[in-house]
Amino acid sequence: MKATVSEVLVQIMEKEGITTAFGIPGAAINPVYKYLKDAPIQHFTMRHEEACIHAADGYFRAKHEIALAICSAGPGATNFVTGLYTAFIDSMPVLAIVGQANSNQLSQEPFQCVDMPEIAKTVTKKAWRLGTASDLPAIMKEAFYLMRAGRPGPVLLELPLDLQKAELDFDINDYIPATIPVVSPNASDIEKAVEMIKASSSPVIIMGGGCVLSHCTRKVIELAEILQIPVITTYMAKGAIPDDHPLNAGHAGIQVGQPIGNRTFLDSDLVIGIGCRFSDRHTGDLKTYREGRKFIHINIEPGQIGLVFQPDLGIVSDAGLAVEALLEAIKKAGIAPVNPERAAKLPALRKSLARKTDYDHAPMMPHRVFQEINEAFDPDTYFTSGCGITQIWSGQLQKIYKAGRYIPSGGAGTLGFEIPALFGVKAAQPDKTAVTVVGDFGLTFMGEEIAVASAFKKPIIVIVLNNAYLGLIRQNQKGYGFEYAVDMPYNQDGTIDYVKLGEAYGCLAERVFSPKELKAALIRAKAASQASGRCYLIDAVCIKTQMCDMGGSLANITCQAPEV
């Protein structure tokens, strides 16, 4: 039967499970909107195209269902790029669809015409421009396959305006979604891993974001419990083992790392990396990171194994299937717990190495802000985090107790991710509390999306850690012996008023200076979010020049916080 490309596109999205879209309509994409209008796909109109991608990204992280990000051509489409990069490096599938000028005008530099597939090819698993109407079903099938297969990630499809209205022969009953292959571990590799564990005296597990994507965090914990092995989580897996679990050894890393994580890692002789990338801000100096220990690296993407350094054993597998195979092999071999005395000391060591947070200053120490947040919200709360010094303190100091509740921009470090991603989380999990902690500068990146949350009655809580500085850039400049263009005194002296900004975007809002005031404000924020459905913004005024703990290697982290 005959149908237009736009109609077929929407039918296929429905069949592939798309129920939610984040977009901005425009002249070059309106033929698709004609069919979205009556489709069983909820559409949220965003305020900026980049936010469409971040919201779809946050939606997937909170619900594990792919969402659509859609916008018009030209500058609208190019605004997708930062969001695509953020999703791509963090392995998050997003279906991005953009409009384009008419096919016969593409070589004539028409209005709002830019080659998006060429621009987006390095930040997507694949990007297409539709060339013929009849090609659409095959492209869509491949798009959904690529988003789901192997290491997940975003794709982009550009639709020339004339082709959106072109007809093709299509029956949705003939469209069968592609089967996603199972990536199982090689049995001999599992045997080798078991032998390496048996030969180790102080192993450690690194649980990466791939374990969250594979829904195997509980299996990893079971593996750790059987063997009594400490578990370090990467930043992307924060919360994948409860913060108070006896085997939780925190993060290792040169920025969001924690003393317990770095100490435990450096005391280990075997590292079992599951669903992780060994990225630079986790490893720091590779000589320090690698020296004196062996590595097992499990990753679904073959190209990740050996990308940073060659492990002693690389296993190409879905994280969950690899962990299941390890569990079965270890139980069958009857391996006893490895160094249970070491594991038994972890809780006390974690407590003794914990960073101080109970400062009573006003303006506040950032550390105290996170202490109050830890005490205020329940384990089901979702948090997002973007980039900068606020994000580093968040990674170091926030306590998360459930997998998938902490949603950061990991590999990209994207200022502006926080609020639209949080809206996507709230759209995915409307009954859960959704919170972000954002710097006063970071708030001005995509902060307009608070208005979207207000308009659609999806209440979010925005806590502004206001230190009136580009704090992380200032700290970096200090290493070069200068400071320039990073101070923002107007963010605290009343020139810039974030309370009025929050109110303009539909929030209830207030400014606080002390821990006591913050504690009360957080109570009011939770009540407003639950009872009245209003967004809430808290401008938390903090000490301006406090720096964060960081260093060049896991063995050389400089502590910047005062003792009193």
pLDDT in tens, 476-485: 999 999 999 9
- Taking residues 145-156, what's their average pLDDT? 98
Written as six digits, the tokens of 193 are 């891993």
Cα angle value 455/459/461 (rounded, 5°): 125
pLDDT over 70 at 299, yes or no: yes
Of 71, 68, 70, the closest CA to residue 18 belongs to 68
- CATH architecture assignment, domain 356-548: 3-Layer(aba) Sandwich (3.40)
> Structure pTM?
0.98
Q: What is the pLDDT of residue 530?
A: 85
* 250-254 mean pLDDT: 97
| DSSP characters over 342-379 | HHHTHHHHHHHHPPP-----SSBPHHHHHHHHHHHS-T
Beta strands in 95-248 (DSSP E): 95-100, 126-129, 155-160, 167-169, 203-207, 231-233
* 143-164: burial string, b at 16+ Cβ within 10 Å, e else: bbbbbbbbbbbbbbbbbbbbbb
State how far the Cα of 357 lies from the Cα of 369, in Å rounded to an integer: 8
**CATH code of domain 187-352:** 3.40.50.1220
Instruction: Output the pLDDT for position 532.
Output: 83
The confidence band for 564, taking pLDDT boundaries of 50, 70 and 90, is low
Residue tagged 């992280």 (tokens): 61
Domain definitions of the chain by residue range: 2-174, 187-352, 356-548
pLDDT tens digits, 334-393 = 999 999 999 999 999 999 999 999 999 999 999 999 999 999 999 999 999 999 999 999
In the predicted model, what is the mean pLDDT of residues 408-428?
Answer: 98
Confidence of residue 529 (pLDDT cuts 50, 70, 90): confident
Distance CA 370, CA 396 (A): 10
Confidence (pLDDT) at 177: 98
Coil, helix or strand at residue 101: coil
Q: What are phi and psi of 185, to 5 degrees?
A: -75, 155
Segment 289-303 shows an average pLDDT of: 98
Compute the average pLDDT of residues 509-525. Answer: 98
Q: What is the pLDDT of residues 439-469, one digit of tens each?
A: 999 999 999 999 999 999 999 999 999 999 9
Kindly report the CATH number that applies to the domain delimited by 2-174: 3.40.50.970
DSSP assignments along 369-423, one per residue:
HHHHHHHHS-TT-EEEE-SSHHHHHHHHH----STT-EEE--SS--TT-HHHHHH
Q: What is the mean pLDDT of the chain?
A: 97
Amino acid sitting at position 140: M
Q: In terms of C-beta density within 10 A (0-12 exposed, 13-18 middle, 19 or more buried), how is residue 382 classed?
A: buried
CA distance 367 to 518: 13
**Is it true that 2-174 and 356-548 share their CATH fold?**
yes
| Residue 107 CA: distances (Å) to CA of 30, 158, 295 | 22, 16, 52
Residue type, position 104, single letter? N
pLDDT (tens digit per residue) in 41-79: 999 999 999 999 999 999 999 999 999 999 999 999 999
So what's the pLDDT on residue 561? 87
| Residue 486 φ then ψ, to 5° | -120, -10
Do 243 and 410 meet the contact criterion of CB atoms below 8 Å apart? no
pLDDT exceeds cutoff 90 at 290: yes
* Whole-number pLDDT of residue 23: 98
Task: State the pLDDT confidence band at 274, using cuts at 50, 70 and 90.
Answer: very high
426 has pLDDT over 90: yes
Confidence of residue 170 (pLDDT cuts 50, 70, 90): very high
Q: Kind and range of the H or E element at 220?
A: helix 217-227
